[in-house]
């Protein structure tokens, strides 16, 4: 009897970013049907209601920078439970727009600027431990927190670029983004 190979387990994760990378993922349109034939999407903000990141994930696309303690904790769990971690988009690769807050040099100046300096008459700093995750001092790109296996640039990456990467990874191959200008940033 011929044993059919186990289907790949795919996850997508959204940290500090605009969700543009996930919108590009949805722009895969009908290829998403082919993807569903090849892989099980086991965790995603756009395709599941999973509350906890599962074990034994084959491929994870991680969008966004690491901006707060919740992002940090989730990213560490993702890395521990994922074979191939893809830094998905420019925010994940180099902090991009979320990283602009790094110019204010710390979490406290960011909070003061947003909630005190620019506030109306009800100015106050948010304080809800356990409900509101604490900001990290800087927004970090994913590779500064955990090892990354594949970088998928773009703001957001095009659907074709995402497909190029996923097709290779689903076949246990290393994606080649050099062809056809796929390595461009932005």
Beta bridge partners of 162: none
Residue written as token pair 């086991």: 42
Per-residue model confidence as pLDDT tens digits over 55-90: 999 999 999 999 999 999 999 999 999 999 999 999
Q: Which CATH architecture has domain 8-100+136-174?
A: 3-Layer(aba) Sandwich (3.40)
- Which pLDDT band, with edges at 50, 70 and 90, does 153 fall under? very high
Neighbours of 19 (CB within 10 A): 15
Average model confidence (pLDDT) across the chain: 92
pLDDT of amino acid 50: 77
pTM of the model: 0.90
Mean pLDDT for 160-174 is: 96
pLDDT at 7 over 80: yes
């Amino acid at each position: 009897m011929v044993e059919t190979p186990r289907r790949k387990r795919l996850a997508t994760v959204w940290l500090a970013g605009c969700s543009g990378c996930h919108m590009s993922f949805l722009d895969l349109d009908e290829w998403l049907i082919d993807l569903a034939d090849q892989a099980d999407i086991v965790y995603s903000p756009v395709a599941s209601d999973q509350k906890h990141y599962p074990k034994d994930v084959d491929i994870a696309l991680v969008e966004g920078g690491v901006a707060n303690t919740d992002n940090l904790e989730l990213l560490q769990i993702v890395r521990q439970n994922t074979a191939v971690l893809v830094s998905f988009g420019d925010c994940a690769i180099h902090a991009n727009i979320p990283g602009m807050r790094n110019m204010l040099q710390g979490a406290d100046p960011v909070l003061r600027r947003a909630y005190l300096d620019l506030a109306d008459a009800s100015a106050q700093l948010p304080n809800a431990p356990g409900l509101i995750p604490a900001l990290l001092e800087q927004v970090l790109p994913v590779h500064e927190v955990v090892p990354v296996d594949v970088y998928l640039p773009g703001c957001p990456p095009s659907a074709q670029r995402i497909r190029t990467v996923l097709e290779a990874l689903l076949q246990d191959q290393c994606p080649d983004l050099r062809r056809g200008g796929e390595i461009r940033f932005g």
